[in-house]
Amino acid sequence: MRVTEVLYHKINRYRAWQLNWVMNKRKKVRESRESIHIKKLGYPTVAAEDFLKNAEEEVVPLEIDNDVQEAEPLLQTVKFDSSHPLYQQDPLPCIDDTNVLLEGVEQAKVLLNTVHIEGLPKEIEDSVGSRAIPFQDTRVKRVVMSSQIFDAMQVLLPKRKDPERPEWNFPRDYGIDSQRKFNLTISQMLQLCEFLDGKASLVNRAQISDAYCCARLDKEGVPFQIKNRADILVTSKVPIAPLASRDTGSSTPLPDIHPLHFTVSIPKQHFYHSESIFPISKMFAKPHPHTAFFHYDPSEVKNLYGEPVTESQFLSRTLVKAFAVAASRAQQLYGDDVKKLPEPLTLQVVHSDNKRFHFGVLQLNTLLLSSPEEKNIFWMLPSPVDLYEECGYVKGRPALQDYNPEVFQRILAFYFNGIP
């Protein structure tokens, strides 16, 4: 017999269904195992239809009590009106996690009475690359890929937008949330730092997630407030020593942003705290802020006038957020009305969007923001450092392209600053 190709599409579906019906219509309903077992025990069985026919209908009268009031819902929506506990009648300029300064670094320096020094302090720059853990680059690459590619989280990501085609609707993407990528990457990098430090990190360091800080400030009689959240705050048992004298940069003039006011683009709000807030108690064994890590999410941080966030505004966000943590700590130690600090307060800061990492160091000398004699000092890199060029799936395969080891070397230098 000649072998031919089987053509399934030649089967007559009607005849196949008819044959199936002829075969199955004669099947009898078999008695279940439960009913057979019940009959063996001697218990009578009644069909459900017969039982319902013989059942008498019982009508229970419904009593309505008019005095009973509806219970309040367990979860109530927060109303942002005069009944809100943080409502204040007088609006106040507030900088939070979602806005940026219009003039970027120049406005931040004028607003916070801060002198900018390009590059990091010599003590920190000399320690970059001086320490290393075994198989450092391999472990950091594994951390980056496990945090940004292999994590099992799948949520609806923000909408993609093309500036050249704003009317085009891209299909919605599912993947790992940007905030989760940041938290996993930084926390695992800090674990690698602790691996090199050993038991000393348990004595000298502590980590706090979602540390909310709020600082109430005043400049030339204009009050304003900075409130933000440090995604990861590393604290230490001993504060970081000052890196420069208090009069460093006192002769450096601040930039001139005339005719703009220093509070331009800062929105006024009716909901704010009337006092400063620092998330750590004075009685904590490691109360001194050491290094603050801040996440930048382009889908949440917006410019007041709808323009894209510029590079200068991104860098100014590093300074403003570091200033909020340092100022709230100073006000916790010396009171909300303190202006001239008895001792400078030093804080390291890392600002990142999961790819770009910006490093800075702030030395807070004074909260008298109108004083020309004494200024705060902020060291920062002139531009962010890229951790990689591309991290994702390329032709269906996970890939990490152009990994830059400098980022983790600088985080390692920050972590070990102050540890002999």
74-98 confidence digits (pLDDT tens): 677 788 888 888 899 999 999 999 9
Residue type for position 74? L
| H or E element that contains 40 | helix 33-41
Q: What is d(CA 258, CA 398) in angstroms, rounded to the nearest whole number?
A: 50
pLDDT of amino acid 27: 77
pLDDT of amino acid 67: 64
For Cα atoms 54, 58, 59, give the angle at the middle one, nearest 5 degrees: 150
Domain spans in the chain, listed from the N-terminal domain onward: 93-416
Q: What is d(CA 382, CA 379) in angstroms, rounded to the nearest whole number?
A: 9
pLDDT of amino acid 144: 97
For Cα atoms 353, 367, 380, give the angle at the middle one, nearest 5 degrees: 35
pLDDT of amino acid 357: 98
pLDDT of amino acid 55: 65
Q: Alpha helices, DSSP H only, in 227-358?
A: 311-334
| H or E element that contains 343 | strand 340-352
Q: What is d(CA 372, CA 117) in angstroms, rounded to the nearest whole number?
A: 17
pLDDT of amino acid 23: 81
Please tell me whether residue 385 adopts helix, strand or coil conformation.
Answer: strand
Q: What is d(CA 306, CA 236) in angstroms, rounded to the nearest whole number?
A: 40
Q: Alpha helices, DSSP H only, in 176-267?
A: 178-197, 200-204
77 CB-near residues (< 8 Å, 6+ apart): none
pLDDT of amino acid 59: 57
pLDDT of amino acid 43: 86
pTM above 0.75, yes or no: yes
Low-confidence spans in the chain with pLDDT less than 50: none
